[in-house]
Structure 1
Amino acid sequence: MPPEIYWRRRALAIGGAVVVLLLVVWLINSLRGGGDSETDPAAASSSLTTPVSISPTASGSSTSSGGSGGSGGGGGGAAAAGGEASSGTSGSSGASSSGASSSAAPSGQPVAAGQCPDQSLAIKVAADKPTYLPGEEPSFTTVVTNIGTTPCERDLGSSLQQVLVYTIDGAVRLWSNIDCFPQSAADVRTLAAGEQAQFTVKWSAKTSAPDCLTQPEPQRDPVGPGAYTVVGQLGQLRSAPEPFNLS
């Protein structure tokens, strides 16, 4: 066989082998590309985050209402003399069940016909001292202001006002000046625009409960040292809580 024919056949064989090799490589690459284009279902599901079910927190009235305003209004003039008698407070960190109760504030007395509405008044109450020493009786002063532009007539009798003491977080109602003295004479006053009426009550630092008079021997526990808040209420109107301390 002539040498040129031999080398020609040899070149054709090598070229064919190269073509076959290229086809195999192309086929392998296309198969790999097709496999990568789809996501494995198992892998996809495992990567998903399982949703967490969160149950809504109950909007208990105890924390919100006690902390902000409790159920008290300022003690009236009659209660000022014996305001403490109204009741005492239980301990700061853990109020005793004998006197402490839910912080939910009572609805308050409705405004009598012809008297100025709650919207025309502002109420503020505060302890007369930031801190009381052992044996001292805390004293609370309530100020009712006519914030309207015209004279305003309103019954400010002590049975219509309340001064309440709560734990510092507002969760537990400890004392109200009308728990044991719910009745008093009417005290109708006419307040000019911007005029204020001021009342003071004292507290024996013992617990009380709304059913004080129905108990043969009401149990009133001394309050322990700690931080507390006092709140005033007149009708549906409530003051902001003001802090004070028992040492």
Structure 2
Amino acid sequence: MLEPNGPLPPEIYWRRRALAIGGAVVVIGLVVWLVVSLTGGGSSDTQSAAASASLAPSAATTYRPDASATGSNQGSGGSGGGGGGAAANDDASSSGTTTTTTTSSTPVPPGQCPDSSLAVRATPDQPSYPAGQEPGFTVVVTNIGTTACERDLGSGLQQVLVYTLEGRRLWSNTDCFPAGAADLRTLRPGEQAPFTVKWSGTTSEPGCTAPREPVGAGAYSVVGQLGQLRSAPEPFNLT
């Protein structure tokens, strides 16, 4: 049966058989490829989606170079070992009042302006300070909400912090003077509440237990904080 029979030469029949077999192989290969594509495509898409989900970035974090910056709730700070008055060198509040000892990590009391309704900005009074001059900082709290609300703006909650550009905490106005009274104010939409602080140019730590060392010339940044709400860092120089 394998030997071709017919009026034509045998090689012609062999060529026809070879072409028929080759065509059958191609058809079978296409069928196998389609089956594999249809059954394997779904799982690869699922795996690809899962891989993409695992690479999704986490929520952005706020500028927090030193966790201890949010753990202090003391009142206004001063240079050296001075008293706790509002006129101390490291803390001269524009309102002239001292503030509560509530820690900066304490949640906002019910009924007061939430952090989402406020904005805080801290700026140095000038870009550069020569040796011997005490840097001054202005912190402005703004009601960015649509309704008037009350908020305790005591200086124990209104912190001013100085950092190196690498993020190392050097000083806070609340480190050495924990005593104070509340300063509850009503802020209308768009209303601003500014206050100022002087820095003696020395280091400090929460509780004011470590020696206060002079800070040398260089570039630094100042950050304002109200409770858990922090401002962006603003650079300044000591020359």
What range describes the TM-score normalised by the shorter chain of this pair?
0.5 to 0.7
Q: Structure 1 residue aligned with 2:151, among 145, 150, 154?
A: 154
Paired residue for 1:243?
235
Paired residue for 2:225?
233
Deviation of the 1:182 alpha carbon: 2.2
Distance 1:162 1:168 in 2: 18
Q: Is the contact made by 2:104 and 2:157 (CA closer than 8 Å) also made in structure 1?
A: no
Q: Structure 1 residue aligned with 2:214, among 213, 218, 222?
A: 222
Q: Is the contact made by 2:89 and 2:200 (CA closer than 8 Å) also made in structure 1?
A: no
Identity %: 63
What RMSD in Å do the two structures reach over aligned CA positions? 2.9
Cα 1:85–1:200 change in 2 (3 A) is: closer
Distance 1:85 1:198 in 2: 13
The answer on 1:175 being equivalent to 2:171 is yes
The answer on 1:163 being equivalent to 2:134 is no
Paired residue for 2:65?
66
Distance 2:199 2:173 in 1: 8
Of structures 1 and 2, the one scoring higher in RCO (CA 8 A, sep 6+) is 1
TM-score by length of 2: 0.60
- Residues 1-247 of structure 1 correspond to what in structure 2 (within 5 A)? 65-66=64-65, 71=70, 81-82=87-88, 84=90, 108-170=105-167, 172-212=168-208, 215=209, 218-247=210-239
Deviation of the 1:85 alpha carbon: 5.8
Deviation of the 1:65 alpha carbon: 1.8
Residues 80-109 of structure 1, C-alpha deviation per residue, up to 9 Å, x if partnerless? 6326069xxxxxxxxxxxxxxxxxxx9633
5+ long unaligned stretches in structure 2:
1-62, 77-83, 93-102
Q: Is the contact made by 2:162 and 2:169 (CA closer than 8 Å) also made in structure 1?
A: yes
Deviation of the 1:152 alpha carbon: 1.4
- Which letter maps to 1:144? V
Query: Residue 150 of structure 2: SS of its match in structure 1?
Result: strand
Cα 1:85–1:158 change in 2 (3 A) is: closer
Q: Is the contact made by 2:152 and 2:182 (CA closer than 8 Å) also made in structure 1?
A: yes
Distance 1:160 1:116 in 2: 14
Residues 117-162 of structure 1, C-alpha deviation per residue, up to 9 Å, x if partnerless? 0000000001101000010000000000000010010000001111
Distance 1:81 1:230 in 2: 20
Distance 1:79 1:129 in 2: 25
Deviation of the 1:198 alpha carbon: 0.3
Q: Is the contact made by 2:223 and 2:230 (CA closer than 8 Å) also made in structure 1?
A: yes
Cα 1:107–1:188 change in 2 (3 A) is: closer
Q: State the 4+ residue runs in structure 1 displaced beyond 2 angstroms.
A: 70-73, 78-83, 106-109
Distance 1:134 1:188 in 2: 37
Cα 1:85–1:141 change in 2 (3 A) is: closer
Distance 1:162 1:192 in 2: 22
Distance 2:231 2:205 in 1: 21
- Which letter maps to 1:65? R
Cα 1:208–1:138 change in 2 (3 A) is: same
Report how many aligned residue pairs link the two structures.
159
Deviation of the 1:191 alpha carbon: 0.5
Distance 2:189 2:202 in 1: 38
Distance 1:222 1:79 in 2: 22
| Larger gyration radius, structure 1 or structure 2 | 1
Q: Is the contact made by 1:228 and 1:244 (CA closer than 8 Å) also made in structure 2?
A: yes
Q: Is the contact made by 1:80 and 1:200 (CA closer than 8 Å) also made in structure 2?
A: no
Residues 24-72 of structure 1, C-alpha deviation per residue, up to 9 Å, x if partnerless? xxxxxxxxxxxxxxxxxxxxxxxxxxxxxxxxxxxxxxxx6218xx649
